[in-house]
Amino acid sequence: MTGLIGIVIFLGLSVVFGLLLGYAAVRFKVEGDPVAELIDKKLPQTQCGQCGYPGCKPYAEALAKGEAEVNLCIPGGEPTMLEIAELLQVEPKAMEAEATEPKPPMVALINEDLCIGCVLCIKACPVDAIIGATKMMHTVIKKECTGCELCIPVCPVDCIDMVTEQPSPQNWKWPEPKSLTESA
């Protein structure tokens, strides 16, 4: 009988503490910085690290805190820098490095016959799009690859190439409409 009373008390306390924790989770929920979220949406999401941060989200958070300059996103180029400067209400700055001409979406392709399994490309990939093991062949998860090209310079046998992503029903997007000045 005393064992049954102990179980009932334990269950009652569990329910009370569960309700308290549920209430606290809803009441004291911490939201992310909304400015950082807006900036992150404007960044190209290549996670390339060319800005000096490990990805677009950390760069956006640093921008929102005023700890980074608006001109560091090389893949986004000047249009992205201008949008972020307007959002943060700061003066636009000249780009740190010039972005190259816009390229079609590219993905890394590893020549598996040449790969020696050195894992340097795995360490360089900011989005974990390359899989493999030491002294084993590596391959790229095309769906995850952002085309940042950070894996190419670290490969000692030059077995990584960037190839144009072929359009498919899964990755096809409507082309951007031309402005009136371009079509005239």
Residues 6+ apart with CB under 8 A from 76: 42, 43, 44, 99
Residues 153, 116 within the same domain: yes
Structural domain including 111 reads 103-169
Give the CATH number for residue 126: 3.30.70.20
pLDDT tens-digit profile of 8-31?
Answer: 999 999 999 999 888 888 877 767
| Per-residue model confidence (pLDDT) at position 96 | 67
Give the three-state DSSP class for 164: strand
Q: What is the pLDDT of residue 179?
A: 62
Q: How far apart are CA 52 and CA 123, in angstroms?
A: 16
Please say whether the beta carbons of 108 and 160 come within 8 A.
Answer: yes
The last residue of one of the domains, among 47, 62, 88, is 88
Q: Of 63, 88, 113, which closes a domain?
A: 88
157 is a domain residue: yes
Mind listing the pLDDT tens digit for each residue in 41-50?
999 887 777 7
* Inter-CA distances, 23 with 28, 29, 148, Å: 8, 10, 44
